[in-house]
Amino acid sequence: MIQAQLEIQLIAAVVAAACALPGVFLVLRKMSMMSDAISHAILPGIVLGFFATSDLASPLLIAGATLTGVLTVALVEMISSTRLIKEDAAIGIVFPALFSVGVILIAQYAGDVHLDIDAVLLGELAFAPFDRLVVGGQDIGPRSLYLMSGVLVVNILFIVIFFKELKVATFDAGLAAALGLMPVLIHYLLMGLVSVTAVGAFDAVGSILVVALMVGPPSAAYLLTDRLSVMLVLSALIGAGSAVAGYWMAHALDASIGGAMATMVGVAFFFTWLLAPDKGYVARQRRRTRQRWTFATKMLTVHLLSHEGLPEAAEECREDHLTHHLRWEPAFATQAVKTAMSDGLVARSGPLLELTPAGRKHAARAVVEI
Amino acid sequence: MSAAVEVRDLTVAYRERPVLWDIDLIVPEGVLMAIVGPNGAGKTTLIKAVLGLVKPAAGEILIYGKSFASQQRRVGYVPQRGSVDWDFPTNVLDVVTMGLYGRIGWFRRPGRADRTKALHALEKVGMADHADRQISQLSGGQQQRVFLARALVQDADVYLMDEPFQGVDATTERAIIALLRELRSDGKTVVVVHHDLQTVPEYFDEVLLLNVRRLASGPVGDVFTEENLRKTYGGRVGFVGAPAGSPPIANRGPLPERLGGVSRSREPSRN
Amino acid sequence: MDVLIDLFSDYTLRVVALGAAILGMSSGALGAFAVLRRQSLLGDAISHAALPGIALAFLLTGSKAPLVLVLGAAIAGWLGTLLILAVTETSRIKYDSALGMMLSVFFGFGLVLLTFIQKRPDANQAGLDTYLFGQAASLRVSDVITMASIAALALAGVAVFWKEFKVLSFDPDFGRSIGFPIRRLDIGLTTLLVISIVIGLQTVGVVLMSAMIISPAAAARQWTDRLGRMVILSGLFGAVAGVTGAALSSAKANLPTGPTIVVAVSAIVAVSLLLAPNRGMVWSRLRAWRAGRRLRMDAVLMDLFLLATQHDSAEYPHDRRVLDAMSFPRGATTRNLRLLEDRGYVQRIDATRWALTAVGADRARMLAHENPSEWRTA
């Protein structure tokens, strides 16, 4: 593996981790689509900044474009606060408009500047190692690695310093306000963080794929844990892993690295969704099948308990009644009765089903547990 | 007396979590019945199950002795007011006309006769002069009356109403109850999810006390007792202590006027 | 101006404009339902998800015929929608996350395929990347005919199932209770939405097509309170934006079609939000300002009235500085007095003193009577 390849993978992993961290809060706050809005809306900011500085890594450009992102959030909130348009529609109106302005600017001055539409969509990760940071005549590595590491460190610091505030503001904004934790300020700081991350990642993966890196890994991590701190670490790891895998996929197909990173995020999410212990699809289905029989025996005992000793018992507690009134499939009813009998909850008495003392307790408990 | 609605052994579960446990219920024809119970008791779910909007895990529902599907025309539904977006671009008359869409048939538009029917229903709820009003300009009480008018044009025999008195002004409340009585005198059956325990004896003939299980049902005078209410609202613990083999609910005689003991404020807030 | 003349004289431009009008009309009309059903951003997901469908359709068939590519786009868009539903229904992932992930992952996969195709030596792939930002100039007559037929089908679907779609959008539970097959109607309307999106992809591109779903509808909603008019107006706005954008981008070099159309439609939204009668922000601000001015004016009138009640005559003159003190901290007494003078409610006695007129005293009595709690009168 040559050094350039190593550097690309390193940058990709750092970008993905940097995106995943603020993404966790977007996912938990049900604001995932804000990443879509911000990553598009910063384009005019980036383009104008680029005209001014001719340098995608210039601090001026980053500051200006970040401001564009935060202003977009404010604009969306302003429009939806008029109640003329619902919030989802407001998002969907604002960001394509700003993105269009950015694309038109690029197209108009395509000849003059080194910034093309492909870069907007794909990023230029493959070229990242050629842009070196030289300090005092000494080549110390690719510039974008330093830029994104900086963003990553800012994200980590922000989350560590404001962990308590972020946590409370995410799970209970009302409580946060009552505790004086200023949820609105936290909200805007977070939006600023998302913006600065999107601006930093733009160089590597372009505008749209940032969304995959921000939403995908946290979503996968959300299926693996209930703890916020664990979720943050897992998201960063899943993001970095997908990024490296994406690099090799792109390498094999000779295709876009950014696109392949997003694809791998999708693959990682898919397998997590399928196989995650406890919260994955397979685990849920298994649990559901098990629960189905537990539930069926519960239903049976509760049913018998309700009608026990009542005049209609002779009618209600017959086994064939289960298919008739409970509308159970005959096979299901037979299996449910069998399960209940083998658990010692129900006994047969002629044509009737009767609760055993254990079954009575079971039914009573079932009713309380609701 | 035949049953307008009969519910047998109904269990409804969301993700294997029971919301309604083995409900049996008979709603006699021509009565006003209230469904009361704390939040999360499954009142709305029961109505939705009768209407076929949620799929039961077990049990059977009969409307006039037949399945809901075959009796759909005979059932009118008044959903909770908050269940729709009142900023939807339409006017009052149009919403009421929707009550007729079921019988207009595919590919056809409502005609003049349908609009006349809708206007007539609006007159009944005292909203005829608001027919052209955009629905976002209505007060809560007016919105409720529009929904009632929409149910009226269905000309059903059984009406299921989800909290029609929720958040309406006193005038509307009186108008609604007058309307319910008129429906009853026409031989219709009305089942209402109701929150205000104080007004149950005044407004309704029958009551169902529900908290996931049926705690009691029958004529208000018989079952609307303090003890039953305590069972419904006070806790499910009461049921566990019931001696095995005894009927789950016994009638302890009618409740005198002292309803203050069980008021809305004592509902456990589960949501 | 040249563009306008070209629009009527230039054959190619006419074809392009016609295509843009058709796509604007169908996406506008179907978008109205999407916006009302709070599915605005679903349109975004569907259009992005269409990209791998286009690329795969080309890889599998080797054809660049729009009909083939559009079919691939539609299938992929549909698949994306289904996956969003599947993920939200079978896990704790919320709708917004599923949406964001699906659109970006599908799009990323589409870009992988696109770059993969571009680098294959054998394939003549030129033209596929017009689907990113759209290129009106690539529209041919046959394309426009295809678009028109599909759009006509979609619009006919809306017309035929009008009342069913209306109930589905307003109150689906009620619809089910009157026997409408709501699930099937939902699938049907979503299919029509997918169709209206994919026919626009060649012109507007996958990246920005969502704006053509959301913006015309959001603009149209401001002008009318009826669903029928909203759908028609939304289609009209979409068409106008489509033609404007397509014509501008054909006339001027280096002006990508999709973004130009989106800027046009965004301008329509901005104008509608600000100026639409009734709902427009300018009017509601103006109404609020007028009401506020009236209230401030009446306050000074009532102050004067209060002073007058302490004297025999209602028209007893008072010094402005007394009124200043009374209306502290509102201030601006002089301006309010002038406004009242214009209306004949007060008159100026000398440099500093003002008095109620008979008309003004009547008005003050009326206000006090109408709303005694608001106006403290002696």
Q: What is the ipTM of this complex?
A: 0.90
Of the residues B63, B74, B90, the best mutation for testing chain C's interface (the one with the most C CB atoms within 10 Å of its CB) is: B90
- pLDDT score for A310: 76
Torsion of CA B154, B159, B161, B167, to 10 degrees: 70
- Provide the 3-class DSSP secondary structure of residue C190: helix
Q: Where are the beta strands (DSSP E) in C298-370?
A: 318-319, 346-348, 353-356
Q: Tell me, yes or no, whether C134 and C273 share the same domain.
A: yes
- Of C221, C251, C279, which residue is a domain's last? C279
Q: Tell me, yes or no, whether C191 and C329 share the same domain.
A: no
- pLDDT score for B18: 82
Q: What amino acid occupies position B155? A: D
| B186 backbone dihedrals φ, ψ, rounded to 5° | -85, 5
| Residues B77, C174: C-beta atoms closer than 8 Å | yes
| Residues C35, A263: C-beta atoms closer than 8 Å | no
| Residues C108, A97: C-beta atoms closer than 8 Å | no
| Residues C176, B52: C-beta atoms closer than 8 Å | yes
- pLDDT score for A369: 58
| Residues A100, C262: C-beta atoms closer than 8 Å | yes
Q: Tell me, yes or no, whether C245 and C363 share the same domain.
A: no
- Neighboring chain B residues of A328 at a CB cutoff of 8 Å: 58
**More confident: B1 or C223:** C223
| Residues A209, C107: C-beta atoms closer than 8 Å | yes
- pLDDT score for C24: 96
Instruction: Indicate the helix (H) or strand (E) that contains A148.
Output: helix A143-161
Q: Tell me, yes or no, whether C290 and C199 share the same domain.
A: no
| Residues A108, C38: C-beta atoms closer than 8 Å | no
- Neighboring chain C residues of A93 at a CB cutoff of 8 Å: 211, 214-215, 218, 266, 269
Of the residues B63, B85, B100, the best mutation for testing chain C's interface (the one with the most C CB atoms within 10 Å of its CB) is: B85
Task: Tell me the shortest Cα–Cα distance from B109 to chain C, in angstroms.
Answer: 7
Nearest to A97 among C94, C262, C273 (CB): C262
Task: Tell me the shortest Cα–Cα distance from C161 to chain B, in angstroms.
Answer: 6
Query: CB–CB of B182/A340 below 8 Å?
Result: no
- pLDDT score for C2: 65
- List the CATH number of the domain containing C257: 1.10.3470.10
Asked if the structure places residue C61 within a domain, the reply is yes
Tens digits of pLDDT across chain A (370 residues): 688 899 999 999 999 999 999 999 999 999 999 999 999 999 999 989 888 887 777 888 899 999 999 999 999 999 999 989 999 999 999 999 999 999 999 888 866 666 777 777 878 788 888 888 888 888 888 888 999 999 999 999 999 999 998 999 888 878 888 887 788 899 999 999 999 999 999 888 888 889 999 999 999 999 999 999 999 999 999 999 999 999 999 999 999 999 999 999 999 999 999 999 989 999 999 988 888 888 888 888 888 887 777 777 777 777 777 777 677 888 888 888 888 888 888 888 877 888 888 888 888 877 665 5
Looking at chain A, which residue has its C-alpha nearest residue C93? A219
| Residues B239, A367: C-beta atoms closer than 8 Å | yes
- Give the percent of chain C with pLDDT over 70: 93
Of the residues B14, B63, B94, B162, the best mutation for testing chain C's interface (the one with the most C CB atoms within 10 Å of its CB) is: B94
A308 touching chain B per CB within 8 A:
yes
| Domain span including residue C215 | 2-279
**DSSP letters along B85-139, please?**
-TTSS-BHHHHHHGGGHHHH-TT----HHHHHHHHHHHHHTT-GGGTTSBGGG--
Q: Tell me, yes or no, whether C150 and C185 share the same domain.
A: yes
Torsion of CA C340, C342, C346, C351, to 10 degrees: 100
A266 touching chain C per CB within 8 A:
yes
Looking at chain A, which residue has its C-alpha nearest residue B18? A370
The predicted model scores a pTM of 0.88
- Neighboring chain C residues of A261 at a CB cutoff of 8 Å: 108
Give residue-wise pLDDT tens across range C279-337.
Answer: 899 999 999 999 988 888 888 888 888 888 787 777 778 888 888 888 776 667 888 88
Average of per-residue pLDDT across B58-66 = 91
Angle of helix A209-222 relative to helix A257-275, nearest 10 degrees, comes to 20
CA torsion through residues A330, A335, A336, A338, sign:
positive
| Residues A121, C111: C-beta atoms closer than 8 Å | yes
The domain tally of chain C equals: 2
Q: Tell me, yes or no, whether C85 and C218 share the same domain.
A: yes
Low-confidence ranges of chain C (pLDDT < 50): 378
Give residue-wise pLDDT tens across range B109-140.
Answer: 899 999 999 999 999 999 999 999 999 999 99
Give residue-wise pLDDT tens across range B172-203.
Answer: 999 999 999 999 999 999 999 998 999 999 99
**Domains in chain A and their CATH numbers?**
3-214 (1.10.3470.10), 282-369 (1.10.10.10)
Asked if the structure places residue C376 within a domain, the reply is no
d(CA C351, CA A355): 100
d(CA A90, CA A85): 6
| Residues B57, A368: C-beta atoms closer than 8 Å | no
Asked if the structure places residue C46 within a domain, the reply is yes
- Of C225, C244, C279, which residue is a domain's last? C279
List the strands of the sheet with B17-28, edge to edge: B17-28, B3-14, B58-63, B66-67
Q: Where are the beta strands (DSSP E) in chain C?
A: 318-319, 346-348, 353-356
| Residues C263, A273: C-beta atoms closer than 8 Å | no
- List the CATH number of the domain containing C327: 1.10.10.10
Of the residues B53, B130, B159, B160, the best mutation for testing chain C's interface (the one with the most C CB atoms within 10 Å of its CB) is: B53
Looking at chain B, which residue has its C-alpha nearest residue C32? B89
- pLDDT score for B246: 35
Asked if the structure places residue C377 within a domain, the reply is no
Task: Tell me the shortest Cα–Cα distance from C256 to chain A, in angstroms.
Answer: 7
- pLDDT score for A111: 62
| Residues A368, B239: C-beta atoms closer than 8 Å | yes
* CA proximity to C178, closest of B51, A123, B226, A211: B51
- Of C226, C254, C279, which residue is a domain's last? C279
Query: CB–CB of B83/B47 below 8 Å?
Result: no
**DSSP letters along B141-161, please?**
HHHHHHHHHHHHHTT-SEEEE
Chain B contact partners (≥3 CB pairs within 8 A): A, C
- pLDDT score for C376: 57
Query: CB–CB of C324/C353 below 8 Å?
Result: no
Task: Tell me the shortest Cα–Cα distance from B183 to chain A, in angstroms.
Answer: 31
- pLDDT score for C221: 97
Angle of helix A228-253 relative to helix A209-222, nearest 10 degrees, comes to 130
Lowest mean pLDDT among A6-20, A223-237, B29-43, B226-240: B226-240
CB atoms < 10 A from the CB of C303, how many? 22
| Residues A89, C132: C-beta atoms closer than 8 Å | no
- pLDDT score for C365: 86
Query: CB–CB of B49/B241 below 8 Å?
Result: no
Q: Tell me, yes or no, whether C156 and C143 share the same domain.
A: yes
> Rounded to whole angstroms, what are the CA distances from C101 to A87, A264, C35, C46, C48?
19, 12, 21, 12, 11
Query: CB–CB of A216/A9 below 8 Å?
Result: no
Q: Tell me, yes or no, whether C265 and C303 share the same domain.
A: no
| Pure H helices in chain A | 3-28, 32-53, 59-81, 87-108, 117-122, 143-161, 163-171, 173-178, 183-205, 209-222, 228-253, 257-275, 281-307, 313-316, 319-325, 330-342, 357-369
d(CA B126, CA B138): 13
Instruction: Indicate the helix (H) or strand (E) that contains C268.
Output: helix C257-275
C258 touching chain A per CB within 8 A:
yes
A253 touching chain C per CB within 8 A:
yes
Q: What amino acid occupies position A291? A: Q
- Give yes or no for residue B267 having a pLDDT over 70: no
Q: Tell me, yes or no, whether C91 and C116 share the same domain.
A: yes
A306 touching chain B per CB within 8 A:
yes
Q: Tell me, yes or no, whether C271 and C346 share the same domain.
A: no
| A323 backbone dihedrals φ, ψ, rounded to 5° | -70, -30
Q: Tell me, yes or no, whether C190 and C332 share the same domain.
A: no
Task: Tell me the shortest Cα–Cα distance from C176 to chain B, in angstroms.
Answer: 7
C173 touching chain B per CB within 8 A:
yes
Asked if the structure places residue C18 within a domain, the reply is yes
Nearest to C221 among B89, B94, B104 (CB): B89
- Provide the 3-class DSSP secondary structure of residue C65: coil
| Residues A368, B11: C-beta atoms closer than 8 Å | no
d(CA B66, CA B51): 13
Tokens encoding B201: 């004896």
Q: Tell me, yes or no, whether C206 and C223 share the same domain.
A: yes
A175 touching chain C per CB within 8 A:
no
- Give the percent of chain B with pLDDT over 70: 86
